[in-house]
A and B are shown apart, each in its own frame.
Chain A
Amino acid sequence: MVGMPHDCLANPLGAVRLTFEKAVASGYDPAVLQGKDWGTAELFRQFLFDDDCLSQVPMLSPSTLKWVQPNTLVRFRGMIQDMLGNEFYVGAYKDGDTWRTNKFADSSHSPINTSLDMQIWERRLLYCIPVPGQNFWVESLEEAVKNTHTNLISPKREKRPREDEAILGDVDMMREDGLSSEPLTTMPQTVTGGTFSNVSSVPDTEINYFSCRIKIYDTAESEMKLNDIFEFVGVLTFDPEFPVDSVDCDGFTQSICEDELVHLPSSKVSWIHCIIHRKLAVNDFLSGPALELMPNTAKDLREALVGHLTTVLGNDWVAAQYMLLHLLSRVHARVDSVAVGKLSLNLTCLGKDSMSVFGRNLKFAIECLLPFTRTLPITINYLNTISLTPKKDYNTNRLVFGFLQLTEGSHLTIDETQLQAGTLDSTGVDNARVLKNLMESQTVEYDFTYYKMEMPVDVQLLILSEGKSHILPADLVLPFRPSSVEAPLTVDEETLKAWRWYLGMMKCLSHSIDPDVQKVVEDDLVAARRADRSLGSLDFSRLLTMGRLMSISFGESHLSKEHWQMVKELETIRKERLQEI
């Protein structure tokens, strides 16, 4: 247990103790400061970031879990799935005349004698899971920054389509282990029809994969939100005692203590006492800032990407344009209940045949481009059985994961082509309503039994359907017109990286409008409305969102007249297509 003074990696607690002693020596009074940080964070920040040792810290995953030692430094990346509340612990106690601390540890080294002076401090508990819908390449990128200890860590992901493996030979092979391969019984069509054969990465209604519990210190509550992605670096501990605990407690203890832990299988109970954490945005999952933002690079990349999408979409250039805008969209502001910036796309005219070809290609293309994607094939039966929204289970006092608990910036493809006439029961109606809400206001209601809580989300929604989807009113409805069926070309990893970077960076560009362009836009809108009284604020909103996305797709932060013109032309083509039906 006693390590070198500064071996933060193998003996982080030693380092913590050391700093604590130093702090006390220099006047830090544990009784007054209520556990406020005494310099630990600083030490570790320096160690991890300034000395660049972050990559040496093993990443916690099912495979590494087997060999990492308790009480060493580990890190974990995941989404906050649930917050388990606060915990009071003996933060510091007096052992004789010296103060000792329990911070970042589960129990003290010397048995706590109640006659000692002690300080009760507070820490927060979080329950984290790997980001839902994380794509295979995300993990492999992390591996590129290989840490020294590891043998190869298999990326964890639900499953990965077999037929794609050839294409991405250079990516680490997926481990097709038991974790992921149970097919979902609720989706017969994916098994039998085979039209959308790679949907197997769809709904785990339960999270049955790796999860991690985190204890957080010294952090304002407002800093962490549900569904945020964080990287936690901290001390790993196991909780060997608690199985005993839960066996035979009298009723009283059980009901008071009975909290999250009791209901988790014991093998999973590991805790990270977080010392340093940082919030990750989608971009942190992309390979480094390899490229610089130049108007030309953006333009070239855009062209290449549109070309790729065009191929994927059977030579439908218009659809590819729309797809690009769609992939770039994000909710950049919320005004009242209106989510500004969302651009959901509904590709119609996808029959069973075309779906089997294009649906799969498209899905794969999107998976390669965005870090977090999920697919939701809806059928009557499926809607009636699945639980889309997270739900609080008061028996276990846990928030049960629902399909729609997605992190900011996820992409969701909803495949409506399998939907047939039938009766929705109350669950189904509820689910349909939830989806509709998600489309319209980008919010998901979490079910707390006695009330519902609306959580804002930012999810890109793509609907594939045969006719215009009425259950799911998308911002854009575009009839799909493929003219050729080509197998999409293999794309090498470097190009993919560049495209991912492009999508990630452009998405975040800030945007503004010049007064003269604004004038033009306003005039256009007024004129359009005069020509067609049925145009409403929704249509205007859509046009402006498209305008914004169009110009950022060129890497520009101002809307220019040309781009505005392009948007109008696109819309004209789309209108024509709509009328042809």
Chain B
Amino acid sequence: MAPGSPPSRNNGGPSSPYDSESSPIGNTVSTPGGPGRPKRGRRSSYDTPPQPLSGSRFATPGTTPPSSGANTRRGRGRRSSAGPTGAATPSSTDDAQPSSEAGDADEDEAPPMYVWGTNISVQDVNAAILRFLRHFRENPHQTEGKYMMAIHNVIEIEGDSLDVDAHDVFNYDSDLYLKMVRYPLEVLAIFDIVLMDMVGRIDALFEKHIQARIFNLKSSTSMRNLNPSDVEKMVSLKGMIIRCSSIIPEIRESVFRCLVCGYCCEPIVVDRGRINEPTICGKHECLSKNSMTLVHNRCRFADKQVVKLQETPDEIPEGGTPHTVSLLMHDKLVDAGKPGDRVEVTGIYRAMSVRIGQTQRTVKSIFKTYIDCLHLKKTDKSRVNAEDPMETENGVSGKDKEPVFEDKVEQLKELSRQPDIYERLTRSLAPNIWELDDVKKGLLCQLFGGSALKMLSGASFRGDINILLVGDPGTSKSQLLQYIHKLSPRGIYTSGRGSSAVGLTAYVAKDPETGETVLESGALVLSDRGICCIDEFDKMSDNARSMLHEVMEQQTVSIAKAGIIASLNARTSVLACANPIGSRYNPRLSVIDNIHLPPTLLSRFDLIYLILDKADEQTDRRLAKHIVALHFENPENSEQDVIDLPTLTAYVSYARKNIHPKLSDEAAEELTRGYVEMRRRGNFPGSSKKVITATPRQLESLIRLSEALARIRFSEWVEKNDVTEAIRLLEVAMQQSATDHSTGTIDMDLITTGVSASERMRRENLASTTRNIIMEKMQLGGPSTRLLELLEELKKLIPGEVHLNDLRNALTTLSTEGFVAVHGDSVKRV
């Protein structure tokens, strides 16, 4: 990496005048001085003056050898421009080892060199890197090594960096990996040299410098845990960018011109963060003193940027404030991230001493720390990062699991093997909301989710389960919602009352600065792959609700306005809760009337739970007990045997990520059977009326639910029991929500059209009776009859109440048939 394109990222060194601390990479020395000295010591290279040579922190064979920290001791006659390669072997701090070995990285004849203060041999490392680059293959079938291909690729596109996956290094040569992490400055410098060398062999004309960018370390540190022992180690951190400085041009090479004779000196390279301005004109004829002046546009500059990274909220312990750390970006990394981005950074942790004053050499005893950034990975542009617990896709392959994580997985698996895991999870879900077990089971299924299915034809079936809770006030619906919201990290919690259609889906806004139109995501889009909790669903405006149709079945949000036509993914589960109309559930009315939601929307919910506050002493007593316990007992010990929240979250996320259950034949059969049974149930023996009990949507719901149930058990197969339980859940929910109060059977029509089958039967009955009456009483084209008269007739024939409205309905039906004509109050047969 270092060999940055031009000047390389040597940033640190030169740039910071404070190198006093930064250990230059110069610290590989020939054996003699080397090993044995305590590591700390290397901060001061032995016989060099206190400030070690600034060394570029990576010795970088820079094009410009310049910074090659190597050479140059004080006298630093910048060793003229050595060729791209090797200018500086990292080594060569000392005179003994001048740039002799420039040319070739793997020179064997040189005496063994060691990384300063260690027994790591430069040659060994060199060879190890070479081996790795040449021979690493992801699988044995590949003919060419992964990185050889990558290098060719880089050459082809004239890139300037090679991304190296640290996991590959580890898998190939764990020793090299360890060295790299522990002595990144030295090893990376060697790495770059090797790389340059290889490139030079492949294409001698290739002049750019290729840096190795290491990423994906085996373990990442939390910002909070960085401590002095991490200094000069390679670390990887996650965080959020909060500030980017403006780009700082950093001088790398300067040219001076004599004011007297106009002579321009050779470019002078930054040494240890400073330029040695020539005091005397270099031309022999001139030799004027103090006449040299800087020629700005002949100097070379490199980009540099300081970025502040802050801990993400989930890493902050209670009662703490987030920590921040500075990142130093160079060249290509400049502006790679914007404030607000969540990133994963790999870099070298550095400490730098602070000078007391700008002009003084003395330093304070305090160090400022920063990370020299090697690689920056943005974790998902939108909102959530790769290890998003709600991730359902199998995107992240299992190979990069850290050991800790594997332990955890083992624990989770252990948990999943317990026979009562389903019950335990149910108990652990919102343990402080008592009762409502079936609702919790449904919510559990929602958390785990079914598998989404994408057909080749492009049709897709959602795997997300939508749930609606309808209930009396004070039945802790909102608490359940809050709880789920907390559990599901991608969840968005919104209240229907305050949400507009655009706020939920997406809207187009004008950027105040640029005037460009930009698409802003609303709650549903933001909770893509999460759960969108909508409280007070009933209070939502119709307009906003209608937007939900698309989201809940197609799982996308389409927008077409202001010149932007877009379709955004909104693969979200919706968890909504609503109060019945008139606040309290009226059992006399149908669910539709109670909820007062359009049936089209209702049918999109897989489970609709009615949480009713039944006047029941048992429940009341439990409530009382619960609250008394809440107030008088230590809440910690009052619950036993529940899985704590972090474990629960881990469990859910692991299941969603790794378990993709399929239907077993047995389960499929059971599904069919159950579905047929559900449809058949409406046919009462001896009853002619046919009640449609379930629709294909319910079948889909069943499949999703059983998949979720299998996931709960970490099972790859959906078994018969899962299906049975799914059917039971659906029935529990439906029985409450779809009971036809006049017949007592499950009636999906009630949900889908808002009219129950018995009601429809009655209407048909009415219409046909009316028709009969009209046939009997009225002549074709005869005088018209008044409605009230007809009503009288009807009442005689039909038992029970008949309202004028019913008659009107019937007549409307008849008139559409062209049987009668209705004018105001009078009816005419035509």
Contact = CB atoms under 8 A, between A and B. Distances in A.
B323 interface: yes
30 contacts: A34-B228, A85-B324, A106-B366, A114-B50, A117-B41, A118-B40, A120-B231, A221-B317, A221-B320, A244-B357, A251-B245, A253-B16, A253-B17, A255-B248, A255-B306, A256-B306, A256-B326, A336-B483, A337-B479, A338-B479, A338-B630, A340-B630, A448-B310, A449-B242, A453-B313, A453-B316, A455-B319, A525-B620, A525-B628, A537-B474
B369 A88 contact: yes
B170 to A, nearest CB: 28
Contacts of A228: 319
Contacts of A451: 240, 313
Interface in B308-341: 308, 310, 313, 316-324, 326, 328, 339-340
Interface string A84-118: 01111110000000000010001110011111011
Given A112-B365, A221-B224, A333-B635, 11 more contacts: A85-B324, A88-B366, A106-B365, A244-B357, A252-B304, A255-B306, A335-B432, A336-B432, A453-B316, A521-B624, A536-B474
B634 to A, nearest CB: 7
Contacts of A176: none
A73 B626 CA distance: 53
A526 interface: yes
A537 B627 contact: yes
Contact of A545 (B250, B432, B631): B631
A538 interface: yes
A82 interface: yes
Interface string A236-260: 0000010011011111110111000
Contacts of A248: 358
A152 interface: no
A108 B365 contact: yes
A490 interface: no
Interface string B246-277: 00101000000000000000000000000000
Contacts of B631: 340-341, 541, 544-545, 548
Contacts of B365: 89-90, 102, 106-108, 112
B15 interface: yes
B823 interface: no
Interface stretch (A288-296, A410-418, A511-519): A511-519
Q: State the 5 A-B residue pairs at the shortest beta-carbon distance, nearest first.
A: A225-B319, A536-B474, A255-B306, A525-B624, A88-B367
B541 interface: no
A112 B366 CA distance: 11
Interface in B1-43: 15-18, 20-21, 38, 40-41, 43
Please indicate which of the listed interface residues B40, B228, B321, B351 has the most CB atoms of chain A within 10 Å of its own CB. B321
B635 A530 contact: no
Contacts of A106: 364-366
A470 interface: no
Interface string A49-84: 000000000000000000000000000000000110
Please indicate which of the listed interface residues B227, B339, B476, B631 has the most CB atoms of chain A within 10 Å of its own CB. B631
A512 B474 CA distance: 27
Contacts of B224: 221
Given A544-B627, A545-B631, A529 B620 contact: yes
Contacts of B41: 117
B320 A85 contact: no
Contacts of A114: 20-21, 43-44, 50-51
B287 interface: no
Nearest to A536: B474
B370 A113 contact: no
B321 A335 contact: no
A501 interface: no
A347 B339 CA distance: 46
A258 B51 CA distance: 24
Contacts of B482: 336-337
Interface string A256-283: 1100000000000000000000000000
B358 A247 contact: yes
A522 interface: yes
Given A86-B323, A540-B623, A530 B615 contact: yes
Interface string B351-375: 1101111100011111111100000
A392 B483 CA distance: 27
A255 B628 contact: no
Contacts of B323: 85-86
B144 to A, nearest CB: 42
A399 interface: yes
Contacts, number: 212
Given A450-B340, A530-B620, A241 B364 contact: yes
Interface residues of A, number: 86
A449 to B, nearest CB: 7
Contact of B326 (A255, A341, A537): A255
B628 A521 contact: yes
B613 to A, nearest CB: 7
B351 A117 contact: no
A579 to B, nearest CB: 20
Interface in A335-370: 335-338, 340-341
B399 interface: no
A117 B38 contact: yes
A392 to B, nearest CB: 8
A250 B248 CA distance: 10
A392 B242 CA distance: 11
Contact of B317 (A31, A222, A247, A530): A222
Contacts of A119: 40, 228
B421 to A, nearest CB: 22
A211 to B, nearest CB: 16
A28 interface: no
A210 interface: no
Given A111-B362, A337-B479, A548-B632, A252 B306 contact: yes
Interface in A104-145: 106-108, 111-115, 117-122
A255 B327 CA distance: 10
A312 interface: no
Given A102-B365, A544-B628, A256 B352 contact: yes
Interface string B628-660: 101110110000000000000000000000000
Nearest to B224: A221
Interface string B212-224: 0000000000001
Given A112-B363, A115-B50, A252 B476 contact: no
Nearest to A252: B15
Nearest to B486: A337
Interface in B604-629: 613, 615, 617, 620-621, 623-628
A249 B357 CA distance: 9
Contacts of A450: 240, 242, 310, 339-340
Contact of B366 (A87, A225, A453, A533): A87
B9 to A, nearest CB: 13
A112 B764 CA distance: 100
A188 B20 CA distance: 57
B473 interface: yes
Given A107-B364, A111-B362, A450-B340, A526 B624 contact: yes
A518 B621 CA distance: 12
B368 to A, nearest CB: 5
B227 A249 contact: no
A559 interface: yes
B40 A88 contact: no
B430 A336 contact: yes
Given A228-B319, A338-B432, A394-B308, A540 B624 contact: yes
B243 interface: yes
Given A340-B630, A538-B474, A548-B631, A394 B243 contact: yes
B320 A225 contact: yes
Given A244-B358, A340-B630, A226 B623 contact: no
A219 interface: no
A397 interface: yes
